[in-house]
């Protein structure tokens, strides 16, 4: 059984050494469930390979601390190994160091100053439909109820607040087909996307400040397709556009903006995911920021933070790993950063 009394650095290594590539989290989930179930101050639930443990002290506030158990595929980087201050291995940074910190807190803080829900979930590194949070939010939304959530994703020990939204649109240009030997009888739809690209090239991305954090938007073509045959003037060309928008915009407002940018063109929307405001104005979040220190920064990519935001729970990313090392063969985590994280979180839950 996973020994939660050992040092957080050793615990991280122990967890890393239980391989848990997405879809194969059972062994690690079993260990986590057994270890937490042995703690009398926690109520433990399980759904699939997701383990949820909670204190029930009747505190005025409840915070949620979450980490995913899965990793990207192993790349000849297991078992873990230590070199100086660095622990190398698959999942060290993303995000078993964060999971270890959360497990230590669960074990060592029987009476936190706010109620805590610990969530250890599966399938974060794969498509959204398989992400366990999708299922938990649907089947056990009450498990996720909280005033504030911390996802212990790698952020280099800095709070990354909220996340940007994303949507994909298709800008379609129609033409008229003709034989390319007599091209003047046709209208070339590929030539017709020139102004679409001109607007993208001229586009100036917003960098709005939301709840004190600066975001950085982006509007980009991510695909283009057109063409019928080598001797035909094409009658259709479609530019796929991805808009990453700051969390001061709703999906609807973001769509309206895209329509405005491509005014005069046919615009259709393929999919969208909302952003999440950083929520750092909430007192419990402010207390967290105070305990952790440093200057919070905006999260630009879309993360599970947005799922909590959609459930009405302000959430941030915060973890000891280095986000730039995630998914890399040479992934590692700084052992001293793990200890720092554990201390900061401990202060937050106890002082």
| Interacting residues toward its own copies by CB under 8 A | 164, 166, 168, 179-184, 188, 190-191, 193-194, 197-198, 200-201, 205, 216, 218, 220-234, 237, 239-240, 242, 244, 270-271, 300-302
CB closer to its own copies out of 95 and 102: 95
- CB of 80 within 8 A of CB of 17? yes
CA distance 52 to 36: 9
CA distance 16 to 96: 6
Q: Which one from 94, 124, 156, 235 is the annotated catalytic residue?
A: 124
CA distance 350 to 216: 35
Q: Give least dist CB 293 to its own copies, A.
A: 25
Cβ-proximal residues to 83 (8 Å cutoff; 6+ apart), any chain: none
CB closer to its own copies out of 26 and 191: 191
Residue bearing tokens 């207390």: 287
Cβ-proximal residues to 202 (8 Å cutoff; 6+ apart), any chain: none
Give, rounded to a whole angstrom, the gap between the first and last alpha carbons of the chain: 31
CB closer to its own copies out of 89 and 323: 323
Q: Which one from 70, 115, 156, 322 is the annotated catalytic residue?
A: 70
Q: Give least dist CB 148 to its own copies, A.
A: 24
CB closer to its own copies out of 76 and 229: 229
Q: Give least dist CB 83 to its own copies, A.
A: 28
Q: What is the DSSP annotation of 250-288?
A: -HHHHHHHHHHHTTTSEEEEEEEE--B---TTSHHHHHH
Q: Give least dist CB 93 to its own copies, A.
A: 17
Q: Is position 124 annotated as part of the catalytic site?
A: yes
Q: Is position 271 annotated as part of the catalytic site?
A: no
State the catalytic residues: 70, 124
């Amino acid at each position: 059984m996973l020994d939660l009394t050992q040092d957080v650095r050793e615990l991280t290594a122990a967890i890393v050494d239980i391989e848990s590539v997405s879809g194969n989290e059972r062994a690690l989930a079993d260990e986590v469930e057994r270890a937490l179930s042995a703690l009398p101050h926690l109520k433990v639930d399980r759904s699939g390979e997701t383990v949820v443990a909670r204190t029930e002290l009747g505190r005025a506030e409840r915070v949620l601390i979450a980490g995913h158990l899965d990793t990207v595929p192993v790349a000849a980087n297991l078992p873990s190994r230590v070199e100086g201050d660095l622990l190398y291995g698959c999942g060290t940074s993303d995000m078993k160091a964060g999971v270890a910190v959360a497990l230590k807190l669960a074990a060592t803080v029987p009476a936190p100053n706010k109620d805590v829900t610990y969530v250890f979930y599966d399938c974060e590194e794969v498509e959204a439909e398989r992400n366990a949070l999708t299922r938990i939010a649907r089947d056990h939304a009450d498990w996720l109820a909280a005033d504030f959530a911390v996802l212990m994703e790698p952020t280099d020990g800095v709070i990354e607040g909220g996340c940007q939204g994303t949507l994909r649109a298709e800008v379609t240009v129609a033409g008229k087909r003709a034989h390319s030997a007599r091209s003047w009888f046709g209208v070339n739809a590929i030539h017709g996307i020139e102004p679409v690209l001109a607007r993208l090239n001229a586009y100036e991305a917003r960098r709005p400040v939301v709840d004190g954090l600066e975001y950085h938007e982006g509007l980009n073509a991510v695909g283009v397709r057109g063409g019928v045959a080598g001797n035909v003037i094409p009658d259709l060309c479609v530019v796929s556009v991805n808009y990453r928008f700051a969390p001061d915009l709703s999906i609807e407002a973001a769509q309206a903006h895209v329509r405005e940018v491509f005014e005069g063109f046919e615009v259709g929307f393929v999919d969208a995911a909302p952003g999440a405001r950083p929520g750092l104005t909430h007192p419990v979040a402010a207390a967290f920021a105070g305990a952790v220190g440093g200057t919070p920064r905006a999260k630009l990519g879309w993360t599970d933070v947005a799922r909590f935001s959609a459930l009405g729970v302000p959430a941030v990313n915060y973890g000891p790993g280095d986000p730039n090392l995630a998914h890399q063969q040479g992934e590692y985590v700084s052992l001293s950063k793990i200890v720092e994280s554990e201390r900061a979180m401990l202060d937050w839950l106890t002082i």
